Homo-oligomer: A and B are copies of this chain.
Amino acid sequence: MSELESSFFNVDRQGPVVRLSMNRPEKANGMTPDFWTELPRLLQILDSDETVRAVVLTGEGKHFTGGMDLAAFASIAALFSEEPGRAAYALREKILQLQGTFSAIEKVRFPVIAAIHGACIGGGIDMISACDIRLATRDAYFSIEEINIGMTADVGTLQRLPKLISPAIAAELAYTGRRFSAEEAQAFGLISGLADDREGLIAAAMEMARDISTKSPLAIAGVKRNLLYSRDHAVDDGLDYMATWNAGMLRPEDLTKAVQASMAKKQAVFANLLGEGSLAI
């Protein structure tokens, strides 16, 4: 499974759970060009592996991530020697690509749990806003840093954060670029739980991922897709979509397994979703 070797991430597979760890600790896991292509590449591989059921996203070293590496701006700057209308067109394409890196987190069928320690700055907030669940160490801290370097954050923070926490608070954080703490983040509803240190954090995140991986992967995929659908639609629309979804996906097999296992005080064992082979056109 060497395709999981990566120039930016450590990939640690533990049964149905995979930990992707940003591995450029000497640069605070700054998001180099490699980062932007490697994350969606790895996620797509994991999504097509029917045995994967949850992913944990962490960082090596002292910090989760310091955000966009300035090197990644270089290719953008190069555009501006071109005819300005064409440069703008190309820049739009480039930003869409960068956004695609984080939207890839929403496209996989399993939850991605961010486990954040130390700094989570700039692009880091764009990234964790696209994750399904977030845990942090007590000493983690956050900042929508883009406004402090003279730009409008454009890879997802302004779109996703105000749909996770109070938009009133999200606005204040986006205008001031001020640092906020893990405890604040938990009070805002952004963070689901706090750990004392990085070791405890990773243990908690892996434990949560293992717990999720024991549940029906079909039901989990349904939760993920329908939560995302509901976020972006009116309630009546969401209900109709949900009914249409379960019209095909709700069948007795998993319910029966769950009930029987519960009666026998055992853990139910649910079958994987179908693998990529079944899905090829």
> Is A159 a contact partner of B247 (Cβ separation < 8 A)?
no
> Is B89 a contact partner of A219 (Cβ separation < 8 A)?
no
Q: Mark A116-159, 1 if CB is under 8 A from B, else 0.
A: 00000000000000001110000000000011111111101011
A-B pairs with beta carbons under 8 Å apart, 20 shown: A70-B259, A75-B281, A83-B271, A84-B253, A85-B250, A85-B254, A86-B273, A90-B279, A91-B247, A91-B248, A93-B279, A96-B239, A133-B171, A148-B258, A158-B230, A163-B235, A164-B166, A166-B188, A188-B189, A244-B244
Question: Considering the complex, which residues of chain A in the window 159-190 have a beta carbon less than 8 Å from any beta carbon of chain B?
Answer: 159-160, 162-172, 174-177, 188-190
Q: Is A192 an interface residue (CB 8 A)?
A: yes
Query: Which of A8-16, A58-66, A209-217 is the contact stretch?
Result: A209-217
Residues of B within 8 A of A248 (CB): 85, 88-89, 91-92, 244, 247-249
> Is A273 a contact partner of B223 (Cβ separation < 8 A)?
no
Find A89's partner among B151, B159, B239, B249 (CB 8 Å cutoff).
B249
Query: Which of A22-30, A97-105, A194-202 is the contact stretch?
Result: A97-105
Could you tell me how many residues of chain A have their Cβ less than 8 Å away from some Cβ of chain B? 121
A133 to B37, CA, bound (A): 35
> A interface vs B, CB < 8 Å?
33, 36-37, 70, 72-73, 75-80, 82-99, 101, 103, 111, 132-134, 146-154, 156, 158-160, 162-172, 174-177, 188-192, 208, 211-212, 215-216, 218-223, 226-227, 230-255, 257-259, 262, 268, 270-271, 273-274, 278-281
> Is B176 a contact partner of A211 (Cβ separation < 8 A)?
yes
> Is A162 a contact partner of B36 (Cβ separation < 8 A)?
no
Find A216's partner among B76, B150, B165, B232 (CB 8 Å cutoff).
B150
Residues of B within 8 A of A188 (CB): 166, 189
A248 to chain B: closest residue by CB? B248
A221 to B79, CA, bound (A): 18
Residues of B within 8 A of A94 (CB): 279, 281
